[in-house]
């Protein structure tokens, strides 16, 4: 059944959610306080790089099911369900900043004139939905009923649209069956299995899932560090482990650690959450420490190889935190660049789409290039920090053609060792014999 839905926040979670809900037949209004962003969205332009998103936006704007506004009153008018999808940035102490979420709760309370279900998509600490309910209750101006539901998202950047239509599960945390059923009905066209729980368990599923995936990555990275010392090959080890269904073959790719807007933030927030109830989450604290060390790995390896990096020209290949996104948040490349600046190296950075965002973070402390040949020209060392297709498919003989000295430190194991051996290349990767 078609429902009238509002989505507050047009970041990648909110926008993808709103667009996909309109695509399965609902009437959706996306609300954001950012006037410029809303203007852009009205024209069918996506402010984020997300494959497939603009096509779906345009389609549903044109068929009248998707609209955008900055005005809460207009946006909430006659809506049966309101999704909260605003950011929960990290505070200095690692905990989540909930001020945007609370603001939306107040906006809802002050503007609605009909019963609604408020659905929290934003990643929020366990107990936040109870707070949201409380804030709404305290600020309500009409005599209406408001239910609160936790419905965390599991989208990956770069494949968010695909993940919305083909996710593994939809988690619905509610304290009454009617609200849970309504959200289940809304999502039915996606045809994805639904897990219904109480609100706090749903909130925890999100954190526990991200923390577990981060743990898998730090685990395989630690094994790769030991492999390097003992002469084993992490690729074969991960393959052999992953065939065991209880382990699974995903998220066992060793490299220079995880980044992005989710894993670093959510792992720290979960440690903080546990600390608040007097539980020291030792395992997750180690996962975070291992990741910090891992992000610095290439520079440490290069320092071991050269002694000093002062005056060296270093090309960083790939700046985004992972391929198929322009997101630079918590990217290993930033850690690498900052370390190299300290070392007194000259740094050149290449990325197929993240250059604008990279410039915002790294400014003119490095030089930028939008093609691999340019970035390699005259370089003494190349660091691969993101496994972009362009980099994986780059022909190996070209390193020695463009670089001053063909020395490559590959943080994402982009090339098969048998291939590397055929070329005149000093090559170091992660957890493999060099």
Q: Annotated binding site for substrate: which residue ranges?
A: 154-157, 206, 251-255, 259, 322
Q: Of the residues 20, 30, 227, 262, which is catalytic?
A: 262
**217 touching ligand UGA, by CB under 6 A:** yes
**268 touching ligand UGA, by CB under 6 A:** no
**402 touching ligand UGA, by CB under 6 A:** no
**156 touching ligand UGA, by CB under 6 A:** yes
Cβ 216 to ligand UGA shortest distance, Å: 7
Q: Which member of 258, 394, 399, 415 binds ligand UGA (CB under 6 A)?
A: 258
Dist CA 169 CA 166 (whole Å): 9
User: CA nearest 347: which of 361, 362, 325?
Assistant: 362
**What residue numbers does the annotated binding site for NAD(+) cover?**
32, 37, 88, 123, 157, 265, 329
User: CA nearest 339: which of 369, 314, 364, 363?
Assistant: 314
Dist CA 434 CA 426 (whole Å): 9
Cβ 354 to ligand UGA shortest distance, Å: 13
Distance set, CA 328 to CA 23, 40, 45, 253 (Å): 29, 22, 21, 20
**262 touching ligand UGA, by CB under 6 A:** yes
Q: Which member of 11, 125, 259, 431 binds ligand UGA (CB under 6 A)?
A: 259
Q: Which member of 155, 347, 382, 396 binds ligand UGA (CB under 6 A)?
A: 155
Dist CA 234 CA 299 (whole Å): 20
Cβ 391 to ligand UGA shortest distance, Å: 13
Cβ 146 to ligand UGA shortest distance, Å: 26
**157 touching ligand UGA, by CB under 6 A:** yes
Select from 252-260, 357-365, 371-379, 417-425 the region that touches ligand UGA (CB under 6 A).
Answer: 252-260
Query: Is residue 30 annotated as a catalytic residue, yes or no?
Result: no
Cβ 242 to ligand UGA shortest distance, Å: 10
Q: Which residues bind ligand UGA (CB under 6 A)?
A: 123, 153-157, 210, 213, 217, 251-253, 255, 258-260, 262-263, 266, 321-322
């Amino acid at each position: 059944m078609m429902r009238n839905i509002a989505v507050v926040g047009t970041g990648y979670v909110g926008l993808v959610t709103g667009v996909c809900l309109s695509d399965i037949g609902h009437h959706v209004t996306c609300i954001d306080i950012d006037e410029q962003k809303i203007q852009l969205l009205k024209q069918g332009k996506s402010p984020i790089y997300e494959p497939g998103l603009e096509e779906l936006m345009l389609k549903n704007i044109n068929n009248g099911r998707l609209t955008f506004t900055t005005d809460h009153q207009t946006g909430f008018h006659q809506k049966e369900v309101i999704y909260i999808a605003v950011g929960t940035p990290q505070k200095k102490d690692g905990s989540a900043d909930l001020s945007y979420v609370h603001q939306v709760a107040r906006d809802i309370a002050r503007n609605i004139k009909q019963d609604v279900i408020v659905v929290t998509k934003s990643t929020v600490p366990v107990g936040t939905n109870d707070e949201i309910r409380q804030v709404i209750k305290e600020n309500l101006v009409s005599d209406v009923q408001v239910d609160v539901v936790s419905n965390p998202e599991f989208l990956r950047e770069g494949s968010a649209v695909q993940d919305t239509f083909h996710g593994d599960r939809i988690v619905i945390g509610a304290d009454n069956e009617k609200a849970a059923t309504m959200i289940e009905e809304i999502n039915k066209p996606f045809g994805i299995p639904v897990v219904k729980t109480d609100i706090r368990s749903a909130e925890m599923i999100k954190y526990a899932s991200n923390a577990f995936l981060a743990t898998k990555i730090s685990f395989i990275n630690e094994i790769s560090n030991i492999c390097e010392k003992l002469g084993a090959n992490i690729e074969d080890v991960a393959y052999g482990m992953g065939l065991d269904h209880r382990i699974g073959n995903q998220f066992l790719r060793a490299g220079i650690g995880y980044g992005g807007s989710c894993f670093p933030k959510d792992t720290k927030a979960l440690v903080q959450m546990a600390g608040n109830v007097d539980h020291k989450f030792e395992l997750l604290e180690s996962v975070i420490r291992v990741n910090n060390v891992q992000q610095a790995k290439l520079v440490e390896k290069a320092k071991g190889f050269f002694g000093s990096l002062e005056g060296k020209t270093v090309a960083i290949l790939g700046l985004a935190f992972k391929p198929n996104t322009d997101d630079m948040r918590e990217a290993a490349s930033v850690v690498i660049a900052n370390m190299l600046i300290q070392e007194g190296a000259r740094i050149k950075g290449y990325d197929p789409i993240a250059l604008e965002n990279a410039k915002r973070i790294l400014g003119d402390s490095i030089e930028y290039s939008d093609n691999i040949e340019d970035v390699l020209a005259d370089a003494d060392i190349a660091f691969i920090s993101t496994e972009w297709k362009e980099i994986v498919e780059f022909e190996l003989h070209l390193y020695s053609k463009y670089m001053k000295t063909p020395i490559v430190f590959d943080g994402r194991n982009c090339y098969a060792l048998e291939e590397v051996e055929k070329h005149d290349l000093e090559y170091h990767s992660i957890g493999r014999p060099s």
